[in-house]
């Protein structure tokens, strides 16, 4: 068994969707996995599928990573098992189609906790272990929504923008520690029927053309993270559009997004 095959990857939110695809891509490369999620049935299904297909070891932890002590608990658990963790994937997040003005304060606070606070907390707590087992990798999952302010998804785009900025800064800070930081910023990925419906309503046929299959997103994300790429946007069309989003003035993007969202 090679050194890489002895390493473990922590995938927060790895039981479904993009997280599961990332977990599979890591398993194909010989990584053992620690998959974290809130639903025990989904975790068990993911564990069985991956272990059966790739012959690696999968641990599952039932955790709501927005809980105050969740990150500390996860790190203590890894320590108790003496696992060599050198890959962290912060995938767990929440979207939603409700406008900021129509959302409850409770739902907005939860989105901020899950999309930002959990990323910061789990990364902070796992850093000593990642440094110990370096070279190591951190993959944070944002979105193309993080490249511009979206009035109809105000808090979502703000949280995803925060993940991008956090990743840029952290990458610079950890360079000398041999820990590479990457940020996945996908466009439309149809992991749920409601996402496909919302994309079609907002972007029509163009949205379908932009969409990338979850399995392909996971493969691209892991491949480019291991290659040291910072911003990862799967799909040629999405990648081109992401360049425009980063160049255009934010005040213009607000107007464009608002017109599309009406």
Please give the positions annotated as active site: 156
Q: How many of the other CB atoms lie within 10 Å of CB of 201?
A: 12
């Amino acid at each position: 068994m090679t050194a890489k095959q002895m390493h473990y990857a922590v995938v927060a939110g790895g039981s479904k969707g993009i997280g599961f695809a990332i977990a599979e891509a890591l398993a194909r490369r010989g990584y053992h996995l620690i998959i974290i999620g809130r639903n025990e049935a989904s975790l068990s299904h993911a564990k069985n599928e991956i272990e059966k297909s790739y012959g690696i070891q999968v641990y599952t932890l039932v955790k709501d990573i927005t809980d105050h002590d969740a990150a500390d608990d996860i790190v203590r658990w890894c320590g108790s098992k003496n696992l060599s963790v050198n890959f962290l994937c912060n995938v767990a997040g929440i979207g939603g189609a409700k406008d900021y003005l129509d959302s409850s304060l409770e739902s907005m606070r939860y989105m901020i906790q899950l999309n930002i606070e959990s990323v910061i907390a789990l990364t902070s707590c796992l850093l000593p272990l990642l440094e110990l087992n370096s070279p190591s990798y951190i993959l944070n999952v944002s979105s193309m929504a993080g490249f511009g302010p979206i009035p109809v998804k105000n808090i979502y785009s703000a949280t995803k923008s925060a993940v991008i900025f956090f990743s840029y800064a952290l990458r610079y800070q950890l360079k000398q520690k041999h820990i590479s930081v990457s940020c996945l910023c996908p466009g439309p990925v149809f992991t749920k029927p409601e996402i496909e419906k919302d994309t079609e309503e907002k972007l029509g046929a163009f949205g379908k053309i932009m969409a990338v299959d979850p399995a392909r997103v996971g493969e691209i994300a892991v491949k480019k993270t291991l290659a040291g790429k910072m911003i990862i946007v799967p799909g040629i069309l999405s990648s081109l559009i992401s360049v425009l989003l980063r160049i255009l003035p934010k005040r213009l993007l607000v107007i464009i997004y608002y017109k599309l969202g009406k």
